Amino acid sequence: MSKLWGGRFTKETNKLVEDFTASIEFDKELALEDIQGSIAHVQMLSDCSIISEDDAVTIKHGLKMIEKKIVAGEVEFSVAHEDIHMNIETLLIDEIGPVGGKLHTGRSRNDQVATDMHLYLKKQTQSIITLLTDVQKSILFKSKENVHTILPGYTHLQRAQPVSFAHHLMAYFWMLERDKERLQDSLKRINWSPLGAGALAGTTFPIDREQTASLLGFERVYPNSMDAVSDRDFIVEFLSHASLIMTHISRLSEELVIWSSQEFQFIELDDSFCTGSSIMPQKKNPDVPELLRAKTGRVYGNLVGLLTVLKGLPLAYNKDMQEDKEGMFDTVRTLDGSLRLLAPMIETMTVNQENMFAAVSQDFSNATDIADYLVTKGLPFRQAHEIIGKIVLYAINQDKYLLGLSLEEYQQFSPLFTGDIFEILQPKHVVDARKSEGGTSFEQVKNQLALAEKYI
């Protein structure tokens, strides 16, 4: 089968080369964007009197017929036509005859594919922002139920200070909020139009790039045609933001795995988000958060892969850039699937409030509050810190926790201790005492939830 570009060649393409260089197996995902760009392009060609209005009407009708067939699953794409652009152009010529060949006037596949990817990534970025908001809503829902639920907060995976469970969960809300803001900001750069840049140098035809940009909903055109066809910064930026989103998802997933273990028993994931063992009937495995952790690696890989492709490329377009798409598609699918699972998994999980409270009742996470207590009595913090360290060591040797010591035992270390120390050490008091802005006191957590409502 002769190629649409085959006039200069005397031999058919080697079948191995054809299979190796063809991108239709993955860039067919851009089919609807390709047609969208083509309709705008042909409208502009007509308005600029580059082709006749009748030809433009015929071509647009043909493109819309092909679009309907694609949506209906009635189109089979061919490797022989290499990519989505040549496949659709071939289908168009088959549909409406030779006039379909006028569609490619004043453009190249180089600016065409770049346009397709801008359109695709704009749509997908907006969708991911919506999905992130859905996860935030689930976090907010679960947080509202657990403002007064207390669990150990950790540093170095060692119990540090008790916190509100809502406060802990909301840390992820704000991570995702920053992720959304990064994506929203990236739309400013995704929203550039490369259409009309041609292969690299523009075109001799009197086209109107501003018109096609407007028709496609782009905010501006690339000022430099070489930059327009060779820029993949917007994809790298998306992959970078996606990697950070997956980092946040992975961190939360790690906590869900730990919290649902027999050793912690802080939460139980709903059965619909877990699997069992083929040999151990007692098992309930947190497969979903485990896979969310693992899929982070493939998103990182897609980012590094594209950076590696681009790092040594001279201007303008090179065939290497064909490798820009599969990682982008894979990352979109991975993010989409991960976020769609995460939201209902959080919303349906059971919080074991009693187990969480038992944990903070049998540790030394209230030790800092004794130091703060002595500071309010006039003792310098550094001296208070040393005294409390000795009290903790003493309690460990006595096989007791801080609430289990008597007033007389406390007064062995400092005469500043009085009977109010036992109220100070209660987990609820420890949590509620941290009233600084952004702290874990119940009042501050409620303020945080009210603020979060405004963001979603």
**Percentages (nearest 5) of helix, strand, coil residues in the chain:** 65, 5, 30
Report the pLDDT value the prediction gives residue 26, as an integer from 0 to 100. 84
**Domain topology for 110-202+220-355:** Fumarase C; Chain A, domain 2 (1.20.200)
Q: Cite the active site residues.
A: 156, 277
- What DSSP string describes 204-240? SS---HHHHHHHTT-SEE-S-HHHHHH--HHHHHHHH
Please say whether the beta carbons of 192 and 118 come within 8 A.
Answer: yes
Q: How far apart are CA 151 and CA 429, in angstroms?
A: 13
Q: Provide the 8-state DSSP code for 1.
A: -
Say which residues have a Cβ less than 8 Å from residue 279's Cβ, sequence separation at least 6. Answer: none
Span 359-450 CATH architecture: Orthogonal Bundle (1.10)
- Contact criterion met (CB below 8 Å) for 59 and 102: yes
**pTM confidence score:** 0.92
Q: Mind listing the pLDDT tens digit of every residue in the chain (456 residues)?
A: 455 656 666 677 677 666 666 678 888 999 999 999 999 999 999 999 999 999 999 999 999 999 999 999 999 999 988 899 999 999 999 999 999 999 999 999 999 999 999 999 999 999 999 999 999 999 999 999 999 999 999 999 999 999 999 999 999 999 999 999 999 999 999 999 999 999 999 999 999 999 999 999 999 999 999 999 999 999 999 999 999 999 999 999 999 999 999 999 999 999 999 888 788 878 899 999 999 999 999 999 999 999 999 999 999 999 999 999 999 999 999 999 999 999 999 999 999 999 999 999 988 999 999 999 999 999 999 999 999 999 999 999 999 999 999 999 999 999 999 999 999 999 999 999 999 999 999 999 999 999 999 998
Specify the domain boundaries for CATH 1.10.275.10 within the chain.
13-105
Using the structure block, give the residue that is written with the tokens 């501006």. Answer: 220
Measure the CA angle with vertex 378, ends 372 and 384; round to 5°.
Answer: 45
Query: pLDDT at position 46, please?
Result: 98
Report in angstroms the alpha-carbon separations of 352 from 171, 355, 440, 441: 20, 6, 19, 20
User: Where exactly does CATH 1.10.40.30 map onto the chain?
Assistant: 359-450
- Do you find a cis peptide bond into 316, omega within 30 degrees of 0? yes
**Using one digit for the tens of pLDDT, what is the confidence trace for 217-266?**
999 999 999 999 999 999 999 999 999 999 999 999 999 999 999 999 99
Under 8 Å between Cβ of 153 and 434: no
Torsion on CA atoms 110, 114, 117, 118, rounded to nearest 10: -160
Alpha-carbon distance values, 380 to 334, 373, 404 (Å): 53, 11, 25
Q: What is the pLDDT of residue 2?
A: 57
Inter-CA distances, 94 with 15, 66, 186, 304, Å: 24, 10, 39, 41
86 neighbors 97 (Cβ within 8 angstroms): no
Pairing relationship of beta strands 150-155 and 158-164 according to DSSP bridges: antiparallel
Query: pLDDT tens-digit profile of 392-426?
Result: 999 999 999 999 999 999 999 999 999 999 999 99
How many other CB atoms are there within 10 angstroms of residue 345's CB atom? 23
Instruction: Name, in order, each residue with C-beta under 8 angstroms of 434's C-beta and a sequence gap of 6 or more.
Output: 440, 441, 444
Q: Give the pLDDT confidence score for residue 276 in this predicted structure.
A: 81
Residue ranges matching CATH 1.20.200.10 in the chain: 110-202+220-355
- Distance separating alpha carbons of residues 446 and 424, to the nearest angstrom: 22
Q: What is the pLDDT of residue 191?
A: 98
Q: Please give the CATH topology (third level) of the domain spanning 13-105.
A: Fumarase C; Chain B, domain 1 (1.10.275)
- Angle of helix 165-190 relative to helix 233-259, nearest 10 degrees, comes to 170
User: Where do we find the tokens 């303020």?
Assistant: 447
